[in-house]
Amino acid sequence: MIWESDTKLVLDGAVVELDWTEGGLARLCGPDRFVLQKTREMVSYYASLAGSRCQRVLEAGILRGGSVVLLDQLLQPQHLVAFDLSPQRLPDLDAYLLHRGAAERVRLHFGVDQSDTRTLRRLILAEFGQEPLDLVIDDASHLLPETRATFNTVFPHLRPGGLYVIEDWGWAHWPGTWQDQGGPWARHPSLTQLVLELVMTSASRPDVVTDVLVRRDIVTVTRGPAVLPEGFDISRSYLTAGRRFAEEPRRDHGSRFPLPQVLRRAQWVWRHEGARGIARRVAKRLGL
């Protein structure tokens, strides 16, 4: 790996440019030129894994293909599988793999929803069989329900000591436009909730989660030795002594009541308890 600048590196003749800007994905790519939406610190982290036991790798999120090239070149895994929600294949990435004779070793799947647990299980079984995974990277939706669904499905397939990486977990805390009116994802619960669940699980069940390393751009979870059943759910894996650990309500200045939160709560009650549930909760609130 050769850094030609802070945002440009060369990997065995393939040029990978780091670009976080909105126009970054519009850059022209080719079989030997790719765009990667990661920081230099993230690239350095993955470079630090080179030479470790990362032979069977699964990545959620392909985007323009830069991460596949990065992982292939840095880790040189025995088997790398990546999937993406988009149904469109990437001809430049296919050409890169074909030119290097890696099309069988590096497998790409498109049109795969990361929250589709049944499809994920089939994909893992078809690609890896009963062999455990060494490294999993989630760089897909960055949304809580989808990311949690992927974690619950894939984490049990990691070997003890294997690593599960969640990228860009801290979007709810980024400065600038991410704070204006709740940010571009104001209607979505933050991924921070999952990070808290992972940290709490490491305290309650170190046999499930041995270690959690939280950085500003990635979270790395180390798998413990516990045998995890099908239907594993991280949200049921920690103890709280009766305390509630949940996302804080939005602070809507100028109003006593955080209306968006009230509406979201009412929607949840309606979906799970119906009209009677809403009536019962209103009566309780009014002291009736």
Give pLDDT tens digits for 50-60.
Answer: 988 899 999 99
What would the pLDDT profile of 190-211 be if each residue is shown by its tens digit?
A: 999 999 999 999 999 999 999 9
**29 found inside a domain:** no
User: 119-150 burial by CB neighbour count: b if 16+ within 10 A, else e?
Assistant: bbeebbeebbeeeebbbbbbbbbbbbebbbbb
> Do residues 209 and 138 share a domain?
yes
The answer to whether position 128 is within a domain reads: yes
User: Same domain, yes or no, for 51 and 131?
Assistant: yes
| Two tokens, residue 128 | 């890896």
B/e letters for 183-205, b = 16+ CB within 10 Å, e = fewer, are beeeebbbbbbbbbbbbbbbeeb
- Determine the pLDDT at residue 263: 56
> 219 with 278, same domain?
no
pLDDT band at 29 (very low <50, low <70, confident <90, very high): confident
Same domain, 108 and 190: yes
DSSP-derived secondary structure for 119-139: HHHHHHHHHHTTPPEEEEEE-
Query: Within a domain: residue 203?
Result: yes
pLDDT of residue 186 exceeding 60, the answer is yes
Q: Which domain holds residue 288?
A: 251-288
Beta-bridge partner residues of 36: 18
Give the residue-averaged pLDDT of 227-236.
94
287 vs 148, residue with greater confidence: 148
Q: What angle do CA 255, 244, 234 make, to 5 degrees?
A: 120
231 with 256, same domain: the answer is no
Summarize the confidence of residues 265-269 as an average pLDDT: 61
- Residue 246 in any domain: the answer is no
- pLDDT, residue 269, reads 61
With pLDDT > 70 as the criterion, what percentage of the chain qualifies?
83
Count of structural domains within the chain: 2
Residues 220 and 255 reside in one and the same domain: no
- Please, what is the average pLDDT of the chain? 88
CA 106 vs. chain centroid, Å, equals 20
209-214 and 56-60: which strand pairing? unpaired
Residue scoring higher pLDDT (264 or 50): 50
78/29: higher pLDDT: 78
Residue 27 above 70 pLDDT?
no
pTM, two decimals, is 0.84
Q: How many of the other CB atoms lie within 10 Å of CB of 219? A: 23
- On the CB side of 201, CA atoms within 13 Å amount to 24
Burial profile 158-170: b = 16 or more Cβ within 10 angstroms, e = fewer: beeebbbbbbbbb
Instruction: Tell me if 77 sits within 8 A of 57, measured CB to CB.
Output: yes
Of 167, 155, 16, 208, which Cα lies nearest the Cα of 96?
A: 16
**Quick check: is 90 in a domain?**
yes
- HSE (side-chain half, CA atoms, 13 Å) at 74: 23
Question: For the chain, first and last CA: distance in Å?
Answer: 69
Do 268 and 137 fall within a single domain? Answer: no
Question: According to the model, what pLDDT value does residue 151 have?
Answer: 98
What local confidence, expressed as pLDDT, does residue 144 receive?
Answer: 96
- Summarised one tens digit per residue, pLDDT across range 98-150 is 999 999 999 999 999 999 999 999 999 999 999 999 999 999 999 999 999 99
Place of tokens 């790996």: 1
225 and 285 share one domain: no
